[in-house]
Amino acid sequence: MNEQPHPIAIYRRPNSGHLPHCHNVPELHRAGGYPFAVVLMAVVCTSLYVVFKKKDWL
């Protein structure tokens, strides 16, 4: 049986189960900031998909 650790297990930090600190994330402190950020990411991803599909890169 192979006793080597899984490659991903090598990069795990012991405290990786903790949530990241989000005190300096500006969109979390504005009204409607988080939904705006999610919609912006969706628009950018969709527009890139459409552009790449029209150029036949996908």
The verdict on residue 55 lying in a domain is yes
Whether residue 10 lies inside any domain: the answer is no
DSSP 18-48: SPPP-TT-GGGTSTTHHHHHHHHHHHHHHHH
* 49: in domain: yes
Question: Which pLDDT tens digit goes with each residue over 7-49?
Answer: 555 555 555 555 566 667 776 777 888 888 889 999 999 999 9
Domain count of the chain? Answer: 1
Asked whether residue 53 carries a pLDDT value surpassing 90, the answer given is yes
Give the structural domain span for 57. Answer: 32-58
Domain membership of residue 12 (yes or no) is: no
Asked if residue 1 belongs to a domain, the reply is no
| pLDDT for 37 | 86
- Domain assignment present for 2: no
Residue 8 covered by a domain:
no
**Are the beta carbons of 42 and 34 closer than 8 angstroms?**
no
